[in-house]
Amino acid sequence: MIKDTLKGFKQFILRGNAVDLAVGVVIGAGFSGLVNSLVKDLITPLVAAIFKSADFSNLSFTLNGSKFLYGDFINALISFVLVALVVYFFVIKPMEVFLAKVKQGPPPDPTTKKCPECMSEIPLTAKRCAYCAQPVA
C-alpha cells in the first residue's frame, strides 16, 4: 500500500507540468523581488519627487471613534500601479517586440501571380487565366 502510494507520488512529482510549475514559481519569486526592488528603490522615489511625499500612510480620518487609514490603501494602490507599469513596459512590451522579430523570418516564396487582365490570383506556371481565359505571359 505504502509502496504504491510512493510510486504514485514519484510519478506525480516527475511529471513535466509539475516540475515546470515548480520552476515557474521559483523564477517568479525571484522576479517578484527584482520588480519590487525596482519599484521601491527607483520608481517610488521618482513619484515622491513629483508629489513631494513618498508615504501616504499617515492619512486617515475618524468616524464614530473608528480610524480609517485610507493612506495605507493609497500606498498599496500606488505600489500596485507602479508594479503593473514596470511589468508592462519592461517585460511585456519588450517580449512582444522580441517575439514579433523572431516570428518575422523571410517571406515565403510566391506560388501565385496576378492576372494582368482581371487581377485574380493564378498559379505561377499558368499559361492562361482560369477566371478570364486571357493568355498570361
Residue 61 gets which letter from DSSP?
Answer: E
Which contacts qualify for 72-78: CB closer than 8 Å, 24 or more apart? 78/44, 78/47
Overall domain count for the chain: 2
Do residues 137 and 81 both lie within one domain? Answer: no
CATH number at residue 77: 1.10.1200.120
Q: How are beta strands 61-63 and 121-123 bridged, if at all? A: unpaired
Mean pLDDT by 10 residues, the chain (137 residues): 81 72 83 82 81 77 91 84 86 89 76 90 90 89
Residue 84: strand, helix, or coil: helix
| pTM confidence score | 0.51
Do residues 68 and 88 both lie within one domain? Answer: yes
Residue 120: strand, helix, or coil: coil
Do residues 72 and 98 both lie within one domain? Answer: yes
Do residues 57 and 121 both lie within one domain? Answer: no
Do residues 58 and 44 both lie within one domain? Answer: yes
Do residues 77 and 119 both lie within one domain? Answer: no
Which residue segment(s) compose the domain that 119 sits in? 109-137
Q: How many CB atoms lie within 10 A of CB 80?
A: 11
Q: What does the pLDDT read at residue 41?
A: 84
Give the residue from 93, 123, 94 showing the smallest Cα distance to 110. 123
